[in-house]
Amino acid sequence: MARQAEVTVRALRYYEKVGLVVPVRLPNGYRDYDPVAVRQVREIRELTGLGLSVEETRPFVECLASGHGSGDECPASLAAYRDAIDALSARIVRLTRRRDALAQHLRAAAERSMPSGVRPFAAGHGLDGHPVRCDPPIPSDDGTADRLVGVRLPGVTLPATDGSTVGLAALGPGRTVLYVYPLTGRPGVDLPEGWDTIPGAQGCTAEACGFRDHHAELIGAGAARVYGLSSQPGHYQREVVSRLRLPFTMLADPEFAVRDALRLPTFSAGGMTLYRRLTMIVRRDVIEHVFYPVYPPAQHAGEVLGWLRTHPEGTR
């Protein structure tokens, strides 16, 4: 019986003890199981694998014993499903509140340890009214981008997500919007530890979507082209371009050639060196304007669009 039902003998003894699957005792002391018992024990095994307790499987076992072809065909079984779902929902609420309490402690601790000039977390709220996620601390202007205006882009050639290569010193006529970002997340892949506590780190996907949604307006306002640039490898960026349906090209700089040439700011996270977020408006291969720090990333494309509209080409 244990072999056929794929459980241990100890489990069978327990099911008998609690009255779920009770065999007939033969004169020689052997247990004689009814053929339906195999299905009952397998039902118990499957349901406990879904998180139900052994006792909560009783309606399903009794449903099979009454001659039904499936253990969940009886009204009592459906009620047991609902009760289990309700209990799980209540547990989720309790765990969510515990998580929120921990998040509040994290915000308080981060605020105490945060350097001056950096704004602490701002709480968001979930459906139950409790804070569920913290916005990252706002980055401060450390002055590292002040010297970039008027600087000519270096003769660096970078691989692009469309399979071409782009020479930064030969971008062509018109204005180029070149936004530099640290790291775009990917579904199912964890971000570096402590990512949400690093000023200016969070928001790369939202920023990319902003440039996607405003792309036609940016072109209409005088941008000849838009590029995103990061140290992520090309295959990683191609996945982002495809998944987010970006209408512009990403440039990969895993060797930090642009950083080394222009002394762009970077930071470390999870054992990686990453670009700090900034955007350059380039005209005739010369940096005309720099946005730094960039915050909030989700609204940054609109900020760039506003600047282009108020600074048409030919003005300063």
Looking at the structure, tell me whether residues 93 and 68 fall in a common domain: no
In whole angstroms, give the CA distance from residue 228 to residue 301.
12
Looking at the structure, tell me whether residues 295 and 253 fall in a common domain: yes
pLDDT at residue 187 in the model: 76
Looking at the structure, tell me whether residues 223 and 86 fall in a common domain: no
Does residue 170 belong to any structural domain of this protein?
Answer: yes
Q: Which of 57, 73, 89 is the last residue of a domain?
A: 73
pLDDT at residue 101 in the model: 82
Does residue 316 belong to any structural domain of this protein?
Answer: no
DSSP structural state of residue 211: H
Count of structural domains, the chain: 3
**120-135 mean pLDDT:** 42
**273-295 mean pLDDT:** 96
Looking at the structure, tell me whether residues 223 and 239 fall in a common domain: yes
Beta bridge partners of 157: 167
Nearest to 59 by CA among 86, 47, 31, 51: 47
Does residue 235 belong to any structural domain of this protein?
Answer: yes
Does residue 151 belong to any structural domain of this protein?
Answer: yes
* pLDDT surpasses 90 at 111: no
Residue 54 belongs to domain with CATH number:
1.10.1660.10
The pLDDT tens digits of the residues spanning 3-46 come to 988 899 999 999 989 998 889 999 998 999 988 999 999 999 99
pLDDT at residue 133 in the model: 45
72 close to 81: Cβ distance less than 8 angstroms: yes
pLDDT-derived band at 122 (thresholds 50, 70, 90) equals very low
The pLDDT tens digits of the residues spanning 297-312 come to 999 999 999 999 999 9
* pLDDT surpasses 90 at 126: no
pLDDT at residue 121 in the model: 42
Looking at the structure, tell me whether residues 197 and 100 fall in a common domain: no
The pLDDT tens digits of the residues spanning 217-240 come to 999 999 999 999 999 999 999 999
Looking at the structure, tell me whether residues 304 and 163 fall in a common domain: yes
pLDDT at residue 73 in the model: 86
pLDDT-derived band at 118 (thresholds 50, 70, 90) equals very low
Looking at the structure, tell me whether residues 260 and 114 fall in a common domain: no
- Alpha-carbon distance values, 298 to 171, 178, 213, 293 (Å): 26, 16, 11, 13
pLDDT at residue 293 in the model: 94
Q: Which of 60-64, 166-170, 188-192 has the highest mean pLDDT?
A: 166-170
pLDDT at residue 130 in the model: 39
Q: Which of 46, 73, 100 is the last residue of a domain?
A: 73
Residue 255 tokens, joined: 């060797």
The residue assigned the tokens 């008027």 is 150
Q: Which of 13-17, 69-73, 207-211, 268-272 has the highest mean pLDDT?
A: 207-211
Strands 223-230 and 249-252, sheet pairing = parallel
Does residue 19 belong to any structural domain of this protein?
Answer: yes
**131-141 mean pLDDT:** 66
Looking at the structure, tell me whether residues 156 and 248 fall in a common domain: yes
221 vs 189, higher pLDDT? 221
Residue 270 belongs to domain with CATH number:
3.40.30.10
The rounded mean pLDDT for the chain is 87
pTM (2 d.p.): 0.59
Looking at the structure, tell me whether residues 184 and 113 fall in a common domain: no
Q: Which domain holds residue 202?
A: 146-310
Looking at the structure, tell me whether residues 162 and 257 fall in a common domain: yes
Q: Which of 73, 90, 114 is the last residue of a domain?
A: 73
Looking at the structure, tell me whether residues 230 and 208 fall in a common domain: yes
Does residue 140 belong to any structural domain of this protein?
Answer: no
**241-263 mean pLDDT:** 96
* pLDDT surpasses 70 at 124: no
Looking at the structure, tell me whether residues 254 and 156 fall in a common domain: yes
Does residue 163 belong to any structural domain of this protein?
Answer: yes
Does residue 267 belong to any structural domain of this protein?
Answer: yes
What share of the chain has pLDDT > 70, as a percent?
Answer: 90
